[in-house]
Structure 1
Amino acid sequence: MRNTVFRKLMSDEFGQVRAEMVARDHVLSALGGRTPDQALEAGLPPKAIWLAVCEAFDVPEHRR
């Protein structure tokens, strides 16, 4: 998964503004205590970050 696909999935799920806030501000233990943006900067795969966000926000399986 590319970063652009990750951003689109985030925007589709949460709306543009909330997606940006979640990516910037929401710290996830599954990402080593990082926000999604920090995890991307650290080189974690976008797909793993997306799945961590999905788990944290109970995104239904069919939208993952």
Structure 2
Amino acid sequence: MRHRAFRTAVAEEFGEAHSGVLLRDYWLATLGSTPDDALARGVSPRDVWDALCSEFDVPESRRHGRGLSDPQEK
């Protein structure tokens, strides 16, 4: 997952207005930081996305990102 696809998936799943706040301010204990800080440290966008999905109980059917192709199908 590339950074652009990650940001699109977050905006589509959590809403455009809420996604910026979520990425900047939400603490993910599994990553030990906010999503933006994790990305800045070099954590892959896929790992940050997976952590967000787990934290917010995003259904498996949408964990590849709403409107994005399922990476398991490639």
- Match for residue 60 of structure 1? 59
For the pair shown, the structure with the greater C-alpha radius of gyration is: 2
**TM (normalized to structure 2)?**
0.82
What are the Cα deviations for residues 10-49 of structure 1, in whole angstroms up to 9, with x where unaligned?
Answer: 00001111111110000001112x0000000000000000
Higher relative contact order (CA 8 A, sep 6+): 2
Question: Larger helix proportion, structure 1 or 2?
Answer: 1
- Tell me which stretches of 4 or more aligned residues in structure 1 moved more than 3 Å: none
Q: Which runs of no fewer than 5 residues in structure 2 stay unpaired?
A: 64-74
Q: Which runs of no fewer than 5 residues in structure 1 stay unpaired?
A: none
- Match for residue 26 of structure 1? 26
